[in-house]
Structure 1
């Protein structure tokens, strides 16, 4: 039962954070950021938020710093939008899975081209 609730809370946090980051935040350091996933602990005290950032490593780090700087604002806005007794502590991490997947796909395509030749 607890797993179902944490999943629902995680999905709601993901949805609200996506809207907040894209529409409410005015920090120029934050580029094109997408919230790819949220993992919430069983006691709803912490939430790991995985972000995918379009750009090079410097832009990724700048966007991560900008989002971390706005942590208090994001938590307070989440508290207003989601009816929870305690809003989870937000921990932001860069999600490398999309870049990793595209690299694997490129390697597989290269192998396929070599086989055809």
Structure 2
């Protein structure tokens, strides 16, 4: 169970990383992405950043570019947020949107079968 402070820090990290990626990232592989969620550990040493890339074909290239830029993003984050330790950043793909689309298709299929009866 994450503490209240961890939730507040996660929100601040989300805001700052979104701004850093949007304004300062120079790698064209990153493209347009959305930071959907940030989870931090209770000791604030690690942060899982969930990203969503709508309409982008090279998702793995985007993750690799973010992995390479994670040191720069971490140093910029340390300058903007006053914490004892800058959290180690782990970028993960948020597949909740594709999962939601799959569920909607299944529900439509079930609804169509009910209408046939």
Q: Report if TM-score (shorter chain) is over 0.5.
A: yes
Residue 108 (structure 2) aligns with: 109
2:49 alignment partner in structure 1: 49
Structure 1 runs not aligned, ≥5 long: none
Aligned residues: 115
Aligned-residue offset at 1:25? 0.7
Q: For 1:24-35, list aligned pairs within 5 A.
A: 24-35=24-35
After superposing the two structures, state which structure 1 stretch, 18-27 or 3-12, moved more: 18-27
Contact 1:31–1:54, Cα closer than 8 Å, also in 2: no
How does 1:18-29 map onto structure 2 within 5 Å? Answer: 18-29=18-29
After superposing on structure 2, the runs of 4+ consecutive aligned residues of structure 1 that deviate more than 3 Å are: none
In 2: Cα distance, 1:64 partner to 1:43 partner: 25
What residue is the counterpart of 1:86 in the other structure?
85
The runs of 5 or more residues in structure 2 that have no matched partner are none
Determine helix, strand or coil for the equivalent of 1:42. coil
Taking structure 2 as the reference length, what is the TM-score of the superposition? 0.89
Q: Which residue of 2 aligns with 1:61?
A: 60
The two structures, once aligned, show a CA RMSD in angstroms of 1.6
What secondary structure does 2:84 align onto?
coil
Q: CA deviation at 1:41?
A: 0.8
